[in-house]
Amino acid sequence: MGAVVNSVPVRYLGASGLAGRLGVSRSAVAKWRERHGPDSSHPFPVPDVEIDGVPGWRPARVSEVEQWRADLPGRGAGGGRPSAAEREYLRAAQSRGLNRDEARRVTDAVEEERPEMSRPEIYAWLLAMWRED
Tens-place pLDDT, residues 12-58: 999 999 998 888 888 999 999 998 999 888 899 999 999 999 999 99
The one-letter amino acid at 106: V
**Phi, then psi, of 84 in degrees rounded to 5:** -60, -40
User: Would the pTM count as exceeding 0.75?
Assistant: no
Domain ranges of the chain: 15-70, 84-132
| pLDDT for 1 beyond 70 | no
| Per-residue pLDDT, 41 | 86
If one counts every other C-beta atom within 10 angstroms of the C-beta of residue 106, the result is: 16
